[in-house]
C-alpha cells in the first residue's frame, strides 16, 4: 500500500478509538428512562390505561423494552378496575429499571412474587407493561380497601 493510504487508515482508526466510536455496527442501544414517581395511588390510577387486581401465574419469556431485556408474565385477573385487559390470562411485561448497570431487576422482578397485587399498566407496542418499575405492581392483600377512587376515566 502506498504510504499516504496507510497514514489515512491509521488516522481514521486512531480518531475512532480516541473518540470512543466504533467503525463497526453495534447492537441495540439502551435508553435511560427517567421514571415518573406518582405522589398518590389516585394519580397513578388516573394515568394508567389498565388497573387490575391479579396474581402472577408464571413467567412467559422475555422481550426487549427500551433496549433492555425484560421479563414477561402471565397473570390471573381477579378484578378489572380500569381498562380492557383482553383475553385471559393477561400477558404483561415487567418494566425493568433503566440506567442501573449490572442487574436487570436490582431489587427483584415484582411480578415474580406469587401474591395478589394491584397492577397499574400502560400499553406499548400492542402489549401491556407495568406503568413503572417500582410502582407498577403493588402487593394487595385480600380485604384491603382500594387506595384510590375507582372510576373508569373512559366512561
pTM of this prediction? 0.77
Look at residue 55 and tell me if it is in a domain.
yes
> Which DSSP helix (H) or strand (E) runs through 79?
strand 68-82
Q: Are 63 and 70 in contact (CB under 8 A)?
A: yes
> Is there a domain that residue 68 lies in?
yes
Q: Per the domain annotation, does 32 fall within a domain?
A: no
Q: Is a pLDDT exceeding 90 seen at residue 63? A: yes
Q: What is the mean pLDDT of the chain?
A: 82
Residue 65 sits in which domain range?
41-139
Q: How many domains does the chain have?
A: 1
Model confidence at 32, in pLDDT bands (50, 70, 90)? confident
CATH of the domain at 133: 2.40.50.120
**Percent of the chain residues past pLDDT 90, beyond the cut:** 58
Closest CA to 41 of 113, 119, 133: 119
Is residue 31 situated within a structural domain?
A: no
What pLDDT was estimated at residue 1? 54
Domain for residue 48, yes or no? yes
Residue 33 in domain: no
Residue 28 pLDDT greater than 80, yes or no: no
Query: Is residue 12 domain-resident?
Result: no
Has residue 18 been placed in a domain? no
Amino acid at each position: 500500500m502506498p504510504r499516504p493510504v496507510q497514514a489515512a487508515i491509521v488516522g481514521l482508526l486512531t480518531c475512532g478509538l480516541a473518540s470512543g466510536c466504533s467503525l463497526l455496527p453495534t447492537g441495540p442501544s439502551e435508553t435511560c428512562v427517567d421514571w415518573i414517581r406518582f405522589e398518590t395511588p389516585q394519580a397513578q390510577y388516573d394515568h394508567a390505561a389498565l388497573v387490575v387486581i391479579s396474581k402472577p401465574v408464571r413467567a412467559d419469556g422475555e422481550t426487549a423494552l427500551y433496549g433492555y431485556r425484560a421479563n414477561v408474565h402471565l397473570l390471573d385477573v381477579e378484578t378489572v378496575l380500569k381498562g380492557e385487559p383482553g383475553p385471559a390470562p393477561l400477558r404483561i411485561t415487567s418494566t425493568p429499571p433503566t440506567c442501573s448497570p449490572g442487574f436487570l431487576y436490582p431489587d427483584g422482578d415484582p411480578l415474580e412474587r406469587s401474591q395478589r397485587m394491584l397492577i397499574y399498566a400502560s400499553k406499548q407496542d400492542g402489549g401491556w407493561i407495568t406503568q413503572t418499575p417500582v410502582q407498577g405492581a403493588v402487593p394487595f392483600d385480600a380485604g384491603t380497601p382500594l387506595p384510590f377512587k375507582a372510576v373508569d376515566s373512559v366512561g
